[in-house]
Structure 1
Amino acid sequence: MGQGGIGIVVTEINRNILVVEDEKSIRDIYYKALGKATLDTLGKEPFNLFMAASGEEAIKIVCNLMLEGARIAVGFFDLTMPGRMDGVQTIRCVREMDNQVLCTVVTGYGDHRLAEINALFSPDHLDDWDYLSKPFNVGEILQKARCQISGWNHRRAIERQSNELKAMLKEIEELNRTLESKVQERTLELQAKNNELEELLVKLKEMNSQLLQNEKMVSIGQLAAGVAHEINNPIGFVHSNLGTIETYMKRLSQYTLFVDRVQELTSNGQASRVSEFVEELNRLKKKLKLDFILSDLSKVVAESLEGTERVRRIVQDLKSFSRVDEAQLKLANINEGIKSTLNIVWNELKYKATVTTDFGQLPEIPCHPLQLNQVFLNILVNAAQAIESNGQIGIKTFQDGDWAVVRISDNGCGIPEEHKRKIFEPFFTTKEVGKGTGLGLSISYSIVKKHGGEILVESQVGVGTTFEIRLPISSSPLMELGS
């Protein structure tokens, strides 16, 4: 295939093979064996074959590929070639440029140079080369190429996983060092976190005005006050704990200064008063309540960290819910989506009803998870608005054959029979002005249908309402069309 393959786009699977052979008839055998062959184990794309008639030409090919960000995976090297470079010298130069190239030595002159070739490879890379005697057939070349290309790519995959593991370990070590920092550093971190959360509150208020652009944003806008309340509670006790820590630091500093003074007096010839100093230190320690401070400090810090984590989760769920969903379907856990939605809408529910959940074992299903979360939010908000006080909202998930089922029930006012057939129509609403656009259930119906599912409703005035959402566990043509 000559130099024509240099412009290839490097993909995750490296199929680049270099053949260094001075005899055209043998190069033709390589082309016959590998020119249109594929790597069955790692895909159906053909090999990228690069032919060189000399060592110098081979080095040029490797250089050009590396300049383009590509690499040779496997090389077949003839030992005896004309010119200044024989096969051994060519292997040495190629390995100096890229020591991960897997080499196959091809010769018809016996094995008298195998020791010389072996010396080119370090002890931990001795399996990077192999030997093939002339004459050979097409099947031998194809089998050798497939094995070595697979081996090269598997090694790179292992290296990537190893690097990812090292990065994770490094991150864990960094977290451990952070946990072992001093109390004062923790205080500064908590103060910085508090400032960050206050900034997030400002951003949430700014976001609230932007969310009104569509029904999803309308829903977030209606819930913003509740979310802010959920955030303000932990921020309040974090702020209070910071004041407590400041008081503790002042007392610890007062005690430290007195200790330093005692050490100074002792070193100035007043060692005879040690017992007096010790007694005074004990009195001061008791007066400052240092034992209590030391025991309480870790609790104060733990409570503050718990508060900031609560806010982080709320803000993360809110950010995830408000962003644009991905264009392609992806596997997602429906139960986790409902939990995330509950975290956002919780302030809307907790003063109206007791929420009970019964999450069944569901497989991950192909879907647009953020769109489904919008469906859950619309139904949960409607349930809360249908309840005056002291109500019940139940959420149950289970698998019914090839369907994942979500049931959301409430014991609210119910839907009149004449309204039930209209609730999925755009702009239909019985709510007062400012409390609904009439698009929530219409959009929910559209989202479920786009997923190849169905949404059913049962309701009785004065008893309550149940919405049942049925979603296919495997993708359907309708879902792909909706994407």
Structure 2
Amino acid sequence: MKPDESLLDKLHQLQIKNRELEQVHLLQTLILDGLHVILTTEDIDALFAQFFGLLRQALHFDAAVITQLSDERTQLLSVSCTETDSDGALNIVQHIHQKGLERPLNAFHIPLLFEEPLTLTSPWSDMRSLLGIDIQTQHAEYQLWIFSNERAAFGPHDLTLLQQFSSFAGSTISQVEKRRLQQQQKELQARQDQIEKVLISSEKMASLGQMAAGVAHEINNPLSYVLSNIQNLAYNHEQLHQLIDALKHEVAADTALSILEHYRYQAICVDTDDIMAEMTEGATRVKDIVKSLRQFSHPDQSKTDDIDLAELIDNTLRVAWNQIKYSAQLEKHYGNKRIVVTARSAQLSQVLLNILVNAAQACDEKIGLIQITLCDDKDNAFIEIKDNGCGIPEDTLTKIFDPFFTTKAVGKGTGLGLAISKAIIEQHSGSIQVSSQPNQGTSFVITLPKQPDLSHGEADGYL
């Protein structure tokens, strides 16, 4: 070999080595940047978008798409694309998939792959070359497709680089998939724990409802005796009063007056009348509470009645009074007009109870005031429950009707009260609005049609 030929051969070998070193450098750069992506990216969609940016550092291309094989392994699904219109790319690779062309694939001239021209939209109609490789992960099969407007744009070195990168990409995607699955498992576990708490709470509420109905029944019987005996005692007291008045005429006036004053007859009569009145009032209140408990714990929540809203509110207040009386004063503005709606009384009682108890709890740290206003128009009835409590922050106000959302301490609330209340009101074709200012108070306004269509939903499951 001549000296000139020897130098040319060495120069050629050096060029090959240099190209290999450049390729190794490019791959190492991709891997290092990819490691950074792994550490900073939690979402797979964002990961794919960053993959395109990484590849642009090593390869020149005009568009790229990542597809995933469907569960039936019959078609490809677009996962991520550099273009907003991914249908063209999906059309091309779907035809490649149907033709059974294996990967890695280096197509120098795309139209030659198909017997008939494909109908493509811009920018895919201008694509002439593509590289295609498989990316295997633990949970899915992806394909990476890189397009160029130039014919024969990609060479063997590009395909080798992409193949080497695909192995790393598969590991990267697997790591993100694993983190995502772990996060989903944590969320599912938290959700399951919350549901279990709600179910336990629901069971407790159902048991309490049955117990309340049983207690109300047991109290009602002896209470009937008490009320009956109070009436008999009042009658006997009146008879004794008449007897003493009659005896006064049989005894000398001075003597009778002296005897009556000695035994404080007049004071005893007044005191006894007061005692009888207080006993009657107390027993009647107990009777009303028992009646309210029986109505509230009635098992048939799907029963529809014509309901006097003022009476319904008062019945609910008797149930909630123990929570309200220590926290707030109560103002009722019912007006002089009787307002009647067709509704499920047990459900509406539950809505009112939820809102009233929340209002009382909002007033715990100040001198509270709860105002209940009832009014109507031709078609609707309106109930406003307003308090001057702690109020609700603006960023929280939009979430209060979300299931499981609560601002109460752990164990103090399930986050279902207002969600169920909204569902009940909407089931009655009504609406519920809330307005609030921190440290000023909160107002709930319930709108109820007087004649709603209740045939579309049942009342199952509300506690």
Decide: shared fold, TM above 0.5.
Answer: no
Q: TM-score, normalised by structure 1?
A: 0.42
**Which has more radius of gyration?**
2
